[in-house]
Chain A
Amino acid sequence: MSERAVLFGRNKTLVGILTEPDFPPDPSLPAVVLFNGGLIHRVGPSRVYVKLARRLAQMGFIVLRFDLSGIGDSSARLDNLPFEQSVPDDAQQAFDYLARTRGIKRFITAGHCAGSLHAFRVAMQDNRVASVILINSEGGEDSWKAYDRRRKTSRYYENYYGKGALTSSDKWRKFFTGRASYRSIARNVVQNILWNKVLTLSFRVKNAVAGRHRATQYGAQIKAIVEGMHALAQRNTPILIVYSQGSSGLQRTQLLVGSELHELSAAEKLKLEIIPQADHTFTLLASQEKLAQIVESWCRAFNQESAVMSSY
């Protein structure tokens, strides 16, 4: 496996790292292109893009992880193109670069969080995309963000008191000698744990009753996503969706496009994988390893397909 730092694109303003196998790559294999997760530069959250790229290169894939214009080390564009147009254009420049310098004809687009949306949109627009990997797609309107924040706050204080304070002799000593902040403890237990639990439960119940059409203000966007999933399935472009266990993004996805997930999974056009003991950014090393194994296993199918093609 080797790594090369590259400046590419029309004005050579896009910065990327090209990871390649040590042996001559099979040009019929798709190259994997990784898109920035939010504003995190090309190493990915907790450096997982670096690890994924290296693992895939060892399997024979060429991998490009790069910074979109204005993110990481890539300069901002001077043409004022809106983001929804500049991302596909940057992706196009990445594909062209790989086609011109490495003879690549097909691509797997992948991304974490906001990067998964880029990967999906680019796949819908470009027939050369052979597969899409969506990792921890989050987002949604403010009500979902508030729901997510409340869940996490409630969980944090539950753990703080349940695993931290309750097992600390120092905290107990303070509690019984009048040196604890009783007001703060009461606020955390009542407001941050209990009240947040009530609010999150009512949000879930409300959404379950309302159904998917009323659970979001973005009906048109959901429609576009559903159409996109079907279009990719028809084009034989399988989708891998990976979520950290218990994430709000997974709940939202299951509520809004659950029936499509089920239908396309049954038709083997889509696979949903859930990683236990993982947070959104894969902080724990074991969760990073699990993610790498899932992605490796998904990409292995292309390796096998390529081996069959080359035997003819």
Chain B
Amino acid sequence: MNQSHLPGEDVEVFYFGPSEKSLFGIFHRPPPQTARQTGVVLCPPIEQEYIRCHRAYRQWAIRLARVGFPVLRFDYYGTGDSAGDDAVQGLSQWRADISAAVEELKNRGRLSAVCLGGLRLGAALASQVAAERRDITGLALWEPVVSGQEYLQELIEWHQDKLWYFLSDVQNAPETNDRPSELLGLALTPAMLDDFNQLNLLSTTQPPADRILIIENNATESAKELLAHFEKLESGVLYKVVAGPRVWSDDPDKALVPHEVLQAMVAWMSEVAE
């Protein structure tokens, strides 16, 4: 390890995947004496939520690396530092990106097992990918989006509020209706809108992983329904309510780190994975 790095901050930055759709990745190397056989891929949320939670995600990765997990953070196609503009055709692209990240981490760390962690839409996509792949050891779902339709409605309201608050002249701003063409900086293709409307974690028919953690700030009905659904699918699910800042929607200049939430997720992952 380079002596100028604190534990968990020893990173490699790179692009991976096909050149026309290359994805930005940042690999957190654990201290050699602590390295585990299981790695963790952290799946980000999107757009404003992605920007606001960046610091918390970095801290999440650092803390996981400190207890021995090789960790890969990455940006989906058309988001962050990855290739592509805003107009992504559908959620299947981002699910494929998660799978590509899992393979990349396995190869890079010579690992046999991988856990997934995600916040908001990142949690929903991670859950869908895990159910599809059937090889994910553990799944940490932080404030998961359960219904894409409800999530879309939240984004529409946030976008509208933002324009009303910040724009000096909203007269000629694009209309925010039920099928908006853009939300919070994200261009919404018709295919993407349809995908959001169809996203529903309660319709999953396969258990996403043997061990699942659902964690949220305040108990919500949708998370409880998700818990019941996963229990029905015979997954080992732990549900926790841990108070902390809403880092995905707070002012980005606050850059808060939800210490207790991260600690709970890292402790849980340390228990379920080698």
Q: Could you list which residues of chain A lie within 8 angstroms of chain B, going by C-beta atoms?
A: 3-7, 11-13, 15, 17, 38-43, 45-47, 50-51, 72-73, 75, 78, 152-153, 155-156, 159-160, 163-164, 244-247, 276-286, 288
B120 to chain A, nearest CB (A): 17
Say whether B169 faces chain A, with CB atoms less than 8 Å apart: yes
Say whether B230 faces chain A, with CB atoms less than 8 Å apart: no
Known: A15-B13, A75-B6. A288 touches B169 (CB 8 A): no
CB pair B164–A277 under 8 Å, yes or no, is no
CB pair B14–A5 under 8 Å, yes or no, is yes
Say whether B162 faces chain A, with CB atoms less than 8 Å apart: yes
CB pair A156–B167 under 8 Å, yes or no, is no
A121 to chain B, nearest CB (A): 19
B62 to chain A, nearest CB (A): 10
Distance between Cα atoms of A160 and B22 in the complex (Å): 42
Say whether B255 faces chain A, with CB atoms less than 8 Å apart: yes
B 5-16 binary contact with A (CB < 8 Å = 1; else 0): 110010111110
CB pair A12–B2 under 8 Å, yes or no, is yes
State which residues 3-29 of B face A: CB under 8 Å.
Answer: 4-6, 9, 11-15, 22, 24-26
Known: A40-B51, A47-B80. A279 touches B15 (CB 8 A): no
User: Which of B136-144, B182-190, B213-221 lies at the interface?
Assistant: B182-190
Known: A160-B164, A285-B86. A42 touches B170 (CB 8 A): no
Distance between Cα atoms of A79 and B261 in the complex (Å): 30
CB pair A276–B166 under 8 Å, yes or no, is no
Complex partner residue of A277 from B54, B169, B184, B253, CB under 8 angstroms: B169
CB pair B173–A39 under 8 Å, yes or no, is no
Complex partner residue of B168 from A15, A155, A286, CB under 8 angstroms: A155
CB pair B185–A47 under 8 Å, yes or no, is yes
Distance between Cα atoms of A253 and B48 in the complex (Å): 28
Say whether B107 faces chain A, with CB atoms less than 8 Å apart: no
User: Residue on A with the closest CB to B164?
Assistant: A159
B259 to chain A, nearest CB (A): 17
Known: A7-B13, A17-B81. A152 touches B166 (CB 8 A): yes
CB pair B5–A277 under 8 Å, yes or no, is no
CB pair A13–B5 under 8 Å, yes or no, is yes
CB pair A163–B164 under 8 Å, yes or no, is yes
Distance between Cα atoms of A6 and B187 in the complex (Å): 28
CB pair B2–A11 under 8 Å, yes or no, is yes
Known: A75-B6, A283-B163. A288 touches B252 (CB 8 A): no
Residues of chain A within 8 A of B252, CB atoms compared: 38-40, 45
Distance between Cα atoms of A17 and B48 in the complex (Å): 20
Q: How many A-B residue pairs have CB under 8 A?
A: 125
A53 to chain B, nearest CB (A): 10
CB pair B185–A46 under 8 Å, yes or no, is yes
Residues of chain B within 8 A of A247, CB atoms compared: 168
Say whether B231 faces chain A, with CB atoms less than 8 Å apart: no
Instruction: Taking A39-B255, A283-B163 as given, write out 15 further A-B residue pairs in contact, using a Cβ cutoff of 8 Å, ordered by the A residue number.
Output: A5-B15, A5-B26, A11-B2, A43-B80, A45-B252, A47-B86, A50-B81, A73-B13, A155-B168, A246-B169, A278-B167, A279-B167, A284-B182, A285-B182, A288-B185
Residues of chain B within 8 A of A78, CB atoms compared: 4
Say whether B33 faces chain A, with CB atoms less than 8 Å apart: no
A150 to chain B, nearest CB (A): 12
Say whether B83 faces chain A, with CB atoms less than 8 Å apart: yes
Residues of chain B within 8 A of A163, CB atoms compared: 164, 170
A69 to chain B, nearest CB (A): 11
Distance between Cα atoms of A43 and B44 in the complex (Å): 14
CB pair A159–B170 under 8 Å, yes or no, is yes
Say whether B150 faces chain A, with CB atoms less than 8 Å apart: no
Residues of chain B within 8 A of A246, CB atoms compared: 167-169
CB pair A41–B54 under 8 Å, yes or no, is yes
Distance between Cα atoms of A152 and B251 in the complex (Å): 15
Residues of chain A within 8 A of B160, CB atoms compared: 164
CB pair B187–A285 under 8 Å, yes or no, is yes
CB pair B4–A11 under 8 Å, yes or no, is yes
Residues of chain A within 8 A of B83, CB atoms compared: 3
A288 to chain B, nearest CB (A): 7
CB pair A3–B15 under 8 Å, yes or no, is yes
CB pair B55–A39 under 8 Å, yes or no, is yes
6 residue pairs from A and B, CB less than 8 Å apart: A40-B51, A46-B51, A47-B47, A73-B26, A277-B173, A279-B163
Say whether B274 faces chain A, with CB atoms less than 8 Å apart: no
Say whether B161 faces chain A, with CB atoms less than 8 Å apart: yes
Closest 4 CB pairs between A and B?
A: A246-B168, A11-B4, A279-B166, A159-B164
Say whether B32 faces chain A, with CB atoms less than 8 Å apart: no
Distance between Cα atoms of A278 and B86 in the complex (Å): 18
Distance between Cα atoms of A82 and B181 in the complex (Å): 44
Distance between Cα atoms of A284 and B175 in the complex (Å): 11
State which residues 24-46 of B face A: CB under 8 Å.
Answer: 24-26
CB pair B253–A39 under 8 Å, yes or no, is yes
Distance between Cα atoms of A39 and B257 in the complex (Å): 13
